[in-house]
Structure 1
Amino acid sequence: MGVFTYEMEVVTKIPPTKIFKAFVLDGDSLIPKIAPQAIKNVELIEGDGGPGSIKKITFGEGYQFDYVKHKVEALDKENLTYSYSVIEGDALMKSLEKITYEIKIASSPDGGSICKSISQYYTVSNFEIKEEQIKAGKEKSSGLFKALEAYLLANPDA
């Protein structure tokens, strides 16, 4: 088994607590409204949404994958950090044991936020992840984050 680690950073004009609330705390209901082509729905299977909870994410029509299940590993509302693991679903492609994500949102000098994400892909045997797969995943994540930013800028009371 190998572990491949990738980092990503997205800058937004939205203040840290607001983007954390929208992306992490309200994301399960908000993101399917904003980007139904990407995420059709999020269903809480087990738990209350906090650590140990299991969520099933169903992707939109024509998306590359059908669904994944996430396990919430940690949620720290004070420090604006969130971590979860993809533990099941066709996104694992029978070649990955799991994928873990650690998200930290911090203030940027202009009053907005910097969202830092660390992804770790745990491969089965000697499977190797191609750079274009990672790039495509980063672009989708960044696009979803930017769609959320556009929604919040257009709806400041949301």
Structure 2
Amino acid sequence: MVAGSFSIEVESTVDAKRLWKATLDSHNLLPKQAPGLITGITLLQGDGGVGTIRQVNFTAANKDFSYVKEKVDLIDEANMVYCFSHVEGGALGKKVASVSFKVKFTPKAGGGSISTYSCNYDSLPGVPHDEAKVEEIKANSTGLFKQVEQYLIANPTLYC
């Protein structure tokens, strides 16, 4: 088993509070903003708060898996930190034994924000580290963030 992690940081002109609110509503927002990737997000248990389990269903564009179930582990309103982990589907049981994520939004002086997205994982025994796959995940995550960012820029009163 290999423990691994990666982190990306993205600057935005969008206010951190708006990005935070969009994240909390991502089960409604993402299927609308990324229909080429996500067909829907269903809350299976809970109301979106800590302990909620949701299923993210992907289009055929995601060649690796068709769905993933996520559990909300932490919502820290004061520090705009959102943590979740995969509990079923995705790469679980295929390549990784566990995977968890942390998203943090930090206001920038003078406006805008910095979004930090971190991932920690434990690969299954015998699964080698795949740096190309890590880079692909980072690029896809940044691309999805940029789609949401552009939507918020185009809709300045949304999530205010």
Shorter-chain TM-score range: over 0.9
Task: Determine if the alignment matches structure 1 residue 118 to structure 2 residue 118.
Answer: yes
Tell me how far 1:119 sits from its aligned partner.
0.5
Structure 1 position 2, deviation (Å): 2.2
SS at match of 1:91: coil
Does residue 88 (structure 1) correspond to residue 82 (structure 2)? The answer is no
Higher mean C-alpha displacement, 102-111 vs 5-14: 102-111
TM-score, structure 2 length as denominator? Answer: 0.92
Q: What stretches of structure 1 move > 6 A for 4+ residues in a row? A: none
Alpha-carbon offset, residue 51 of structure 1 = 1.3
**Equivalent residues in 2 for 1:6-155, closer than 5 Å:** 6-22=6-22, 24-64=23-63, 65-92=65-92, 94-155=94-155
The whole-number CA distance in structure 2 between the counterparts of 1:109 and 1:38 is 34
Q: Percent identity?
A: 35
Once the two structures are overlaid, the 10-residue window that deviates more, 85-94 or 113-122, is 85-94
TM-score w.r.t. length of structure 1: 0.93
Deviations 1:73-124 (A, max 9, x none): 1011221000000121133361211210011110123411101111011111
Deviation of 1:126 (Å): 3.5
Does the CA-based 8 Å contact 2:104-2:116 persist in structure 1? yes
- Distance in 2 between residues matched to 1:37 and 1:110, nearest whole Å: 34
> Which stretch shifts more, 125-134 or 8-17?
125-134
* Structure 1 unaligned spans of 5+: none
Q: CA RMSD in A?
A: 1.3
Distance 2:101 2:122 in 1: 11
Unaligned runs of 5+ in 2: none
Structure 1 CA distance for aligned equivalents of residues 32 and 139 of structure 2:
20
CA–CA distance in structure 2, aligned partners of residues 18 and 102 of structure 1: 17
CA deviations over 1:35-85 (Å, ceiling 9, x no partner): 111111110111221111111000123322200010111011221000000
Separation in 1, partners of 2:153, 2:7: 26
Whole-angstrom CA distance in 2 between matches of 1:103 and 1:97: 21
8 Å CA contact 1:5, 1:121 repeated in 2? yes
